[in-house]
Every structure is written in structure tokens, then in C-alpha cells.
Amino acid sequence: MDLSVKIGNVTFKNPVTVASGTWGLVEGYSSSSLGAVIPKTVTLYARQGNPPPRIVETPAGMVNAIGIENPGADAFIAGKLMEIKKIGVPVIASVSGNSDEEFQALTEKFNLAGVSALELNLSCPNLKHKTLVAQDPIAVKRVVALVKKLARMPVVAKLSPNVTDISVIAKAAEDAGADAVSLVNTFTAMVIDVHKRKSMIGNFTGGLSGPAIRPIAVAMVYKTAQTVKIPIIAMGGIMTAEDALQFIIAGATMVAVGTASFVNPETPVEVLEGIKEYMKKNKIKDIKELVGSIQGS
């Protein structure tokens, strides 16, 4: 059975990975069998994150506003990344910048860090505009192009679902040379405590994730797969192998488990095992046969 998939010139032994910010080197979060791991986004300088409360439970999901709390690129590369690399699973590093210069500096740092790919978390401020980079195809094109010029590893553009048409943004990333796109990040969301008439999130708004968003994410992946030729890393509420298979059949080359790990840290491994079982049962020899195999009605 061939489970291997390719992004740019890098081959991953299977299509299952973890979503940035939802995985860590912790007992119980087994990852040695996965195709890759994607650690939490790092920024050029350390960030302390948003004031609490940072999370709230919602129907079949959660809203978070962590604020990319991270130790900064240098500390991450010298510290945690070294530990992560010891697992022996390819690392897709996630980075985010506040400016073009920061994205450039991050790319140069990670060029020397020995990672398999670079994921650009584009849900970051788009200076001079009141949007996120991920909401502006021109900015996406610019950032991806400047990173591509420097990067020695494949570059993945991580897209926000908070747009009118995500496939337009994906196309902009592809045109700028991205080796893959990953989608979706969280949906802007809010929960209000009616007794206190206050937001349940310190940052006021946050991002919705978990099974609640899955059907929307599947539709976005499907539409994007119809629009771009580069591989898609799909995520959004995957709890089971069947959930992951929906994304693959819709056109995703890789799938990432996110929020589900908080409920069951073994979800990524269970998803991988379930995909194997499905392939065995349906006599599918190569996972690539499944990618985008959705039938017309």
C-alpha cells in the first residue's frame, strides 16, 4: 500500500499531519508514525499572547484567541525544534510575520534550521490595509513570492476561511510559486456571556475550530481543488478517518488533525490507521488514487 505524498520535491511517508498550535511534544501525543508534524506558529520575536480567557467551548468546537504566544524564532530553533527533530518525523515549520521584512528574516533563519517545508501563517496583519494578508490576494502574492525567492524548502501558504472566495486566494498563492496551500485556519467567532454582557474571550473575538466547521472546510477544499493544481493540506474539524477521507476525496493531498487532539490526543494516529483500513477494504493501492476522486452526481 503506498501512502506517500509529495509537496514540492519533498516526499512524506503518509498524508496525516497535525495542525499548527494543536500539537506538542507531550506524553500521549504520539507522532512517530505520522507523515509530518507542524508545530505552533513562531514569529521573529517572542510574543506573550492574548489576555485570558483565551478559549471557550462551543457546540462541537471551540473558539480560541491565543495570540500566537511563542518564544520567537531563534529560541524555537535552538530549543524545541531540536527536541521535535529527535522524533524522526519531517517538520513543517509554521511562521508568521508582521511585515515583508519579518517574513524574509524568518525564511533565512529556517533555511538553516533543517525543516522539510515552511508553512506561512498568513492570518497576520497586512500593513497599511485593515485586513489580514490572507484576505488580500495581492498581499498573498507578494509575501509568497518574496519567501519563495529565498526559501530552500517547499513553501506552503496557510489560508484563512474569512474571505469571500478562498479559491481566489489559493490561486494567488499558486501564481506566486507556492508549493502547496493549507486550509482552513479558524473562522472569526465570538461568544457572549449574557449575564455579564461581556465577551467570553479576553481578545473579544477569536477563531472557531473543531467539528463544527468541518462541512464548510470540506466545501472550501473542494472548491480550491477545482481551482489550483498544487497540493492542498486540509484541516478543519477532523475527528475520525472518515472525516479525513472526505477532505482527501474532495481534493486534499494531506490532512491535518487539530482541535480533536485536545479531546483525544491519539486522534492523528487513529486517523492514519483508519485511512489504511479504508484503503485495504476498498482495495486502493495508492492514496493518490483517492485524492480528488469525488464522483459527479
Ligand X SMILES: Cc1cc2nc3c(=O)[nH]c(=O)nc-3n(C[C@H](O)[C@H](O)[C@H](O)COP(=O)(O)O)c2cc1C
List residues near ligand X by CB under 6 A: 19-22, 40-41, 64, 66, 68, 94, 121, 158, 185-186, 209-210, 213, 235-238, 258-260
Question: Segment contacting another protein (CB under 8 A): 49-57, 115-123, 191-199, 242-250?
Answer: 49-57
For residue 206, the minimal CB distance to ligand X (Å) is 9
Specify whether the CB–CB gap between 221 and 183 falls below 8 A: yes
Q: Does 64 bind another protein (CB under 8 A)?
A: yes
Per the listing, cell 493531498 goes with 253
Q: Does 236 bind another protein (CB under 8 A)?
A: no
Q: In terms of CB distance, is 104 or 259 closer to another protein?
A: 259
Specify whether the CB–CB gap between 117 and 8 falls below 8 A: yes
For the chain, how are helix, strand and coil distributed in percent, rounded to 5? 35, 20, 45
Instruction: Verify whether residue 286 is a known catalytic residue.
Output: no
Element (H, E) at 73: helix 73-78
What grid cell was written down for 191? Answer: 461568544
- When binding is defined by CB under 8 A, the residue of 15, 61, 97, 137 that contacts another protein is 61
Contacts of 222 by beta carbon, 8 Å cutoff, 6+ apart: 250, 251, 294
Closest CA to 135 of 73, 188, 92, 83: 188
Distance from C-alpha of 173 to C-alpha of 167, rounded to nearest angstrom = 10
Decide which of another protein, ligand X, none touches 29; Cβ closer than 5 to 8 Å per partner kind.
another protein
Residue of 120, 124, 155, 157 with catalytic role: 124
Question: Segment contacting another protein (CB under 8 A): 170-178, 189-197, 262-270, 286-294?
Answer: 262-270
Q: Does 266 bind another protein (CB under 8 A)?
A: yes
For residue 142, the minimal CB distance to ligand X (Å) is 19
Residues annotated as part of the active site: 124
